[in-house]
Structure 1
């Protein structure tokens, strides 16, 4: 009976983790280029159950499951919808791939991160940066634009008044080699091998989040119901144990 308490408790903890992921997805439904997260639920390994007799003879009575756990949290990289902005510094990636961004780590060292959020702006020095102030990387370093008409073609080549300036640093990785960091940035594993970029750049567009609000809300309702069901199991077992201790002992 106490084993049932632990099994129901693992179900409640798992649903709480799922709720955190769904809540984060909903919070980023309007975040440009955001990719939603999902979770794979796994059961603990079954254990062989024994019945111990008074004569110390053990009898096999089958296997018992010890509950569930969060197996893998994964990122869904399905394409989001495109929103036209007519802003020449806004770009969207159609297909797979990422844009290289220059950031600083905790020690102040320059490190390369990646994003699909193409809502870029130009600072006072004419540099192309993200909304958070990170430098957008080109093939020749940071991208510096002057005054004039900016055109970015499908390959990421940047032209100022029809004069070639630089090309965006566009890369791709296997999904298992890319890690979500937060702030719409990704990091590649140390042993990750960069793949050839085979997407297309759309100037004047932004990629919207791939979060389906209705589906996430349905998942949230199901999570709450499952959590409550496990909660009722714990309450029932607790009441039964209480009667066993307080009432059966009086007989």
Structure 2
């Protein structure tokens, strides 16, 4: 069995997965609030060595480890994936309904048909019913949502909207410039951002959403700004070039295994015959 061929094939599949991740990052380089995804590449042999004594199958023991085909199990493969939640650069928009969060790990809460979700995309707008919503139409939630429900409503007469750094909103009295307190944005901080799952539309699913508490003193809300993607386009292009070269190397190794070595073996056997 030509184990080198299978190891090369496994390595090529790993690099294809890396290319998919890199391409997705580059496609969202201008997406507001987008967070970069990354893959961790390892090999089965190392993972097996760490966990073999805990496996229930008796054959998966330290003695049985000596029968492993080391050439195949050392093939690189994706062992984990993670999202980089570092804060991206902020861009001034002067739109009173645009908001950015200047601290890592903080999120706005929005209501979707699938339930409450988290987002870093603070480019909000007002729908036909006067509710504060995301560009995809999801309602932005107030800090007392889990106790009282409701939404954040802005009437047509309230044409002056101010929001402080803690997320407290102030609106003008109709036909006046005097400001009074209004709703308060729900700013959440999950205990472990590694548990967040991307769902598209710049949303994250978090299984402990109902237990989240609104942070009223974050001093992190910036009105009139949006947070840009934290993807570094130059780094991504460098990684793409590197990955493409690795794909070419694995392809060459596979070609050598299947063609050159087989042809050499056939020629030698023919001479002996």
Relative to the length of structure 2, the TM-score reads 0.80
CA-to-partner distance for each residue in 1:186-234, whole Å, 9 max, x for gaps? 0103599636644610000000000100000000000001111111000
Contact 2:186 2:214 in 1 (8 A): no
| Residues 242, 136 of structure 1: alpha-carbon distance in 2 compared, 3 angstrom cutoff | same
Q: Considering fraction of residues, name the structure with more strand.
A: 1
**What does residue 118 of structure 2 align with?**
114
CA distance in 2, matches of 1:77, 1:133: 24
Change (3 A) 1:5 1:199: farther
- Of residues 137-146 and 203-212 in structure 1, the stretch that sits farther from structure 2 once superposed is 137-146
Which blocks of at least 5 consecutive residues in structure 2 are unaligned? 50-65, 145-149, 173-178
Indicate the RMSD between aligned Cα atoms, in angstroms. Answer: 2.3
Aligned residues: 235
Cα 1:33–1:242 shift into 2, 3 Å: same
Contact kept in structure 1, 2:33 and 2:229, CA below 8 Å? yes
1:51 alignment counterpart: none
Measure the CA separation in 2 of the matches of 1:102 and 1:192.
12
Tell me, yes or no, if structure 1 residue 15 matches structure 2 residue 15: yes
Correspondence 1:1-251 to 2 at 5 A? 2-45=2-45, 64-65=70-71, 66=73, 67-96=75-104, 97-105=106-114, 111-140=115-144, 141-146=150-155, 147-161=158-172, 162-173=179-190, 174-190=192-208, 194=212, 197=215, 198=218, 200-244=220-264, 246-250=266-270, 251=272
**Which structure has more helix as a fraction of its residues?**
2
Distance 1:236 1:127 in 2: 63
Go from structure 1 to structure 2 and tell me whether the alpha carbon gap of 1:189 and 1:42 turns closer, same or farther (over 3 Å shift): farther
**Structure 1 unmatched ranges of 5 or more:** 49-59, 106-110
**Partners of 1:199 and 1:18 in 2: CA distance:** 37
CA contact (8 A) 2:143 2:214 kept: no
**TM-score relative to the length of structure 1:** 0.87
